[in-house]
């Protein structure tokens, strides 16, 4: 979602049922500072918000799951443990979890959601061909 979306788009911010959610610390894109944000994953997108009272609110940023290539553990920043990277078509997000278990959960669930989404797209395409 771009910052240019109109207020009309607000009703589209209603997410599908949340698959996974929780606080993580993320790095900025250009200004590389780290912020604690509340992440919410559903079958279509990963969004982050200022805090856990996200329901009905516009996310700070929302990433289309179809733009996500993969999530994987990284040691890019030596002073930050439990760190994974979320590789998208145009940006790699660095996300630090509170625990190692959190990190593995996020990585597994993101990659699973990405592949089910692609699988769903493929079946839709195949059904349309029939
Ligand atoms: C901001 O720094 C925050 O880190 C933003 O994170 C981040 O945007 C900005 O990245 C960065 O400049 P300040 O708060 O000091 O302005 P958040 O959006 O979580 O608040 P991203 O794109 O990471 O969300 P750039 O790329 O706009 O510089």
Which pLDDT score, from 0 to 100, does residue 5 have?
A: 43
- Taking the C-alpha atoms of residue 119 and residue 124, their distance in angstroms, rounded to an integer, is 9
- Distance from the alpha carbon of residue 11 to the mean position of ligand 1, in angstroms: 24
Q: What is the CATH number of the domain that holds 125?
A: 2.30.29.30
**What does each C-alpha distance from 130 to 51, 118, 121, 124, 126 come to in angstroms?**
46, 19, 15, 10, 7
**Is residue 46 in a domain?**
yes
Confidence bin at 11 (pLDDT 50/70/90): low
- Taking the C-alpha atoms of residue 120 and residue 66, their distance in angstroms, rounded to an integer, is 11
Query: What HEC string does 18-57 produce?
Result: CCEEEEEEEECCCCCCEEEEEEEECCCEEEEECCCCCCCC
Residue indicated by tokens 């979890």: 97
- Distance from the alpha carbon of residue 110 to the mean position of ligand 1, in angstroms: 22
pLDDT tens profile 76-107: 999 999 999 999 999 999 999 999 999 999 99
**Is residue 7 in a domain?**
no
* Pocket flag, ligand 1, residue 3 (CB < 6 Å): no
**Is residue 10 in a domain?**
no
Atom of ligand 1 nearest to the CA of 29: 26
Which pLDDT score, from 0 to 100, does residue 130 have?
A: 83
**Is residue 125 in a domain?**
yes
Token readout for 108 is 């597994």
pLDDT tens profile 48-73: 999 999 999 999 999 999 999 999 99
- The whole domain housing 52 covers 16-129
- Taking the C-alpha atoms of residue 95 and residue 103, their distance in angstroms, rounded to an integer, is 9
Strand pairing class (61-64; 68-73): unpaired
The CA angle 49-52-56, to the nearest 5 degrees, is 70
**Is residue 9 in a domain?**
no
**Is residue 64 in a domain?**
yes
- Average pLDDT over the chain reads 91
Confidence bin at 15 (pLDDT 50/70/90): confident
User: How many domains is the chain partitioned into structurally?
Assistant: 1
* Pocket flag, ligand 1, residue 35 (CB < 6 Å): yes
Which pLDDT score, from 0 to 100, does residue 61 have?
A: 96
């Amino acid at each position: 979602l771009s910052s240019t979306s109109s207020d009309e788009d607000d009703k589209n911010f209603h997410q599908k049922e949340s698959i996974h959610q929780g606080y993580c610390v993320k790095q900025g894109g250009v200004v590389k500072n780290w912020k604690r944000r509340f992440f919410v994953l559903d079958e279509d997108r990963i969004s982050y918000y200022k805090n856990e009272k996200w329901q009905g609110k516009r996310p700070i940023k929302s990433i289309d799951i179809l733009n996500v290539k993969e999530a994987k553990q990284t040691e890019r920043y030596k002073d930050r443990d439990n760190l994974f990277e979320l590789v998208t078509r145009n940006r790699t997000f660095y996300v630090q979890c509170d625990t190692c278990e959190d990190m593995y959960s996020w990585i597994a669930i993101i990659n699973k959601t990405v592949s089910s989404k692609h699988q769903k797209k493929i079946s839709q395409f195949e059904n349309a061909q029939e």
